[in-house]
Every structure is written in C-alpha cells, then in structure tokens.
Amino acid sequence: MENTHDIPDTQTPSEEVFYEPNDSSLSLEQALNFAPKYFDYSGFSGDTKQRNIEKEAFTDGRQYLPQYEYPALVNHLTGGAEELSGDPELGHQDQVRLLTNLQAVIEQHRVELGDEVADLYIGMYDTLIGRELLMHAAYKSLTAGSAESRQTWRNKFKEINEALYGPIDVELFESIISTERRRLEGFEPISEDDVEVKTYLENFYASTNITEREEYEPIDQELIDVYMPLIEEKYGHIFDAIPDTEDDVEYDANGVAEVINSTLEAGGLYQKGWRCVVSSSRSSVSTNTAKQLIEIPSHDKRNAKQIKALVIHEQEVHARRGQNGLESRYPGLLANGTANYADSEEGLAIALECIVNGSADDNPAIRRARDRYINVGLAAGIGSTSGRDARQVFEIAWRIEAVKIAKSLGKSIDKEIIKMAQSGQWGAYAHLENMFRGTSFAGQNDNYTKLKVYLEGVVKSAQILKLIKADPERFDKLFIGKYDHTDSRESALVNSIVG
C-alpha cells in the first residue's frame, strides 16, 4: 500500500519541554497543563529482533526464561536527555521531585480551584508518581546487587502494581478457570498430543483450590444490537476510509499504520497532529496522547475487520478522549487521565470493539481480555500456595489455549495448533511478554498487572452503556476526556467542569 501520509521517525524522540525539578516557582498553569512524554510502561519491551530470538529459544524449550534488555526503561529513568542527570537513580529522583512539586502547586491553589478539581488533580499526580515508582522498582529488581535485594524490589513492584491497578478479582478468575476446566472435561483425546495436554491440565486443575463458578458474560447481544445503529451513524465516515477487503486479506504493520492514518484524517485527528507509526520496540499497540501517536508493533498483521476494531479502540476511544482532554479547560487532568480512569477506558474500548464486530460470541476483544486475566491469575498463583514465573505460567496457558483452538476447529491437537497456542499473534507468549515486560521473567507474582483491567473495565463499561441506552448526547459525554465514566460522582464533576 502506498504511503501518502507524513510519518515521523519513531526512533527520534519528540522534542521535550523540561522542567527544573527543584524549581519552587512552578506556576499553576504548568501544574494544570503538565504533559509527561515518557510515562508509558508499555514501551519497555526491548528490541523486536532480539525479542524474537528470545521467543524462539523460550518456546522451543532451549531456554527456561527469555533474557530481555530494556534500554528504554533506563532511558526513562535518566530523563531521556542530557538536561537531567543521566544517572538512573538521580533521574528517577528528579522525576518524582518534579511531580511532587507540581502536586504541591495544586494544593497551594486549592481554594482557587475548588476542592473537587484539586482532589482530581492530586489523585492524578498520585497515579503519575505511582507509575514512576513502578518503573524504578522494575529497574531495581533487574539491577540491584544481591538476590535478596532484587527480591525486595520485586515485592515492591508487586505492591505498587496493586496500588495502581487494584487486586485481582479472585471470583472472576475462578469463573474463567471453571469454564476452562469444563471445556477440558468435554475434550476427548485422540492423538498423543491430545493426551499429553489433557493430562497436564488435569494435574494442574487437581492441584489448585478453585471454587467452581459460572462465568459472567460481560456484554450481551441485546446491548450490541441496541448500539450498532448509533455506532454506524457516528463513525461511518471514519470506517469508510478502511479498505473493503475479504477477511483472508491481511495487512502488515506498515499497511495497518497507513490505513489508520487515513482514518485519523477522516476523523479530524490527523489534522490536529495525530499519527500512526510502526514501532520495533512495541509488543502491543499503544496510544500516547502527549505524543499524539498510535504505535503499531512491527510484527502486527490484521485484516480489514480487525483494523476496524482497532480504529474504534485506539483512535476513537484512547486518542479521541485524549485529544478532547487536551482541548478542555483542564488538559493536564483530562489528557493524562484521572486517578482511576484506566480500567473504565479500556473497558469502553473493548465494549465498542464488540459492537463494531456485531457479535458477543467468541469476540476477539473479549477473548484477549479474558486470556490476559487467565495469565495474570496464573502468575498470582490464585488457588495455589505461591505465584508462578513466566515458564510456569506459559506451560499452563498455552495448553489451555490449545484445547480452545482444537475444539473450535473440531480436530486433534497437532504441531500447527501447538504453534498457534504458543507463539501465534494472540497465543500464550504474546500475553506472557506483555505481562512480564520490564522484568526478568523469573519472579513469582511480580508482573505488570495492568492486563487485568481490560476485562474488569468492560464489565463496568457495559453497565454504563446499558444505563444511557444509546442516547447520542449521553454517549458523546463519555469521550470528553480521560476520566472514570463508571464512577457517578466523578462523571458528574468532570461533566460540570468541562461544560
């Protein structure tokens, strides 16, 4: 596909505005409008070529764990430029000091801002500080001098994850695992691989203390049918920019990026500076409001239907909410996001993916969110005496996936299915890499737990969509910025300050 858009070089960081971390004269305007460029933990995945080498060595059993390097993590902690210390420890301290000082400015102007607005900003800065502390804990868990010290930092990493993203919903995890256990019971082994997989999983289920539960469907067909006309009316002109090709026609990462640049243009975001680019350092798609950038991993492949779902998710939820936040009275707050916006925004994006796809049955967006929850729960060791490292999670997760694939295809497990389950685009390794990013893969229960918010968020967002009943005006208010639209108090406040 011919590239007709102006695409920036992703290897060159965008120009930074640096603050003096010790400056006591930071203004209220700076505190209200602060736009961090490097607060994106998802960028710490390592180089694609090296990741692929590690992936192959891991999945074929030559290596117990992947060995990743994270130069972007160190780059963040040094400030990403010579203006800061250039030392990870001092760079981290400068980042935290800056955020703390900006937060203090908000507190100093509490009367002027009002308690409610001030509290939203204080919560936002608490979250930004927490993300910075998370990155520092990840760095220290990799580089601290002794094994004991590294474990201490792993424990800290776990604590900060839970503070940022909340604890795992044990009942939700148990309901998913109960479904997978019942699926296995109905799986009749024929081949040797069938027998091995079923035996392995039977032993796993027998060794865990999981309460049998019925799995809750987060979004139903009735809700999808109610919203489809509104979605087509609101986004039809954007979807028209996506090629009308059959499902067997796939676009590589460059092709996907080019299509999304066309949809950005159709939706008016391209004209405001937004771009979609291919990244060699991403393991999953990422949207960054401060950079006005949607990044596609270089290994990505999608058909037109999948690109359409990606557009509604990344462009029309993450980017649109971010841009509207930038244009609001409080850009620092509504472009960065309030303290608890993350799970509700991801949930809204997934719910809209389901509506765009037109069906809740085995929907790819729900399936991804569900698979991520399985991985996070396995790593946490729910129902077991301890957490699991990346290898232990992988050996369970790919077999669960293999049974699902085999049953959906109506055939026995073979080498092709095993490869799909292990290293396919949505196979076990993709989720594993996503979850253990920024770590050594060796720790038990010290992984990046943001992956759990996708499924939790879609449950909450589906409930809100049911409440507003496809009313266009109420629907549009979901996109005025990055806030928790599932919290009635926060929703009312944000709507009042934007209006």
pLDDT at 18: 40
Model confidence band, residue 381 (pLDDT cutoffs 50, 70, 90): very high
At 396-431, the pLDDT tens digits run: 999 999 999 999 999 999 999 999 999 987 799 999
What is the rounded distance in angstroms from the CA atom of residue 89 to the CA atom of residue 100?
Answer: 17
Query: In Å, how far are 235, 252, 353, 455 from 7, measured between CA atoms?
Result: 24, 16, 26, 33
What is the rounded distance in angstroms from the CA atom of residue 207 to the CA atom of residue 209?
Answer: 7
pLDDT at 445: 73
φ/ψ of residue 361, rounded to 5: -75, 115
What is the rounded distance in angstroms from the CA atom of residue 51 to the CA atom of residue 280?
Answer: 10
Alpha helices by DSSP H, listed for 315-427, are 320-326, 331-336, 342-357, 364-380, 390-409, 415-423
pLDDT at 19 over 90: no
At 31-78, the pLDDT tens digits run: 999 876 555 565 566 667 788 899 999 999 999 999 888 877 777 676
pLDDT at 228 over 70: yes
- 351-357: average pLDDT: 94
pLDDT at 350 over 90: yes
Q: Which of 363, 359, 369, 362 is nearest to 221 (CA)?
A: 359
Model confidence band, residue 17 (pLDDT cutoffs 50, 70, 90): very low
* Prediction pTM value: 0.84
What is the rounded distance in angstroms from the CA atom of residue 29 to the CA atom of residue 10?
Answer: 29
pLDDT at 4 over 60: no
Query: In Å, how far are 139, 208, 235, 283, 314 from 363, measured between CA atoms?
Result: 36, 28, 20, 21, 17
At 144-154, the pLDDT tens digits run: 889 899 989 99
What is the rounded distance in angstroms from the CA atom of residue 322 to the CA atom of residue 326?
Answer: 6
Please indicate whether residue 15 or residue 256 has the higher confidence score (pLDDT): 256
pLDDT at 329: 92
pLDDT at 7: 40
Q: Which of 140, 143, 138, 145 is nearest to 160 (CA)?
A: 138
pLDDT at 409: 93
pLDDT at 320: 99
What is the rounded distance in angstroms from the CA atom of residue 408 to the CA atom of residue 386?
Answer: 32
**What share of residues in the chain are helix, strand, coil (percent, to 5)?**
60, 5, 35
> Residue 461 has which token pair?
């967002």
What is the rounded distance in angstroms from the CA atom of residue 411 to the CA atom of residue 401?
Answer: 14
Model confidence band, residue 10 (pLDDT cutoffs 50, 70, 90): very low
Q: What angle in degrees, to the nearest 10, is found between the helix axes of 428-436 and 415-423?
A: 20
Segment (H or E) for 485 = none
CB atoms within 10 A of CB 384: 15
pLDDT at 114: 95
Model confidence band, residue 89 (pLDDT cutoffs 50, 70, 90): low
pLDDT at 81 over 50: no
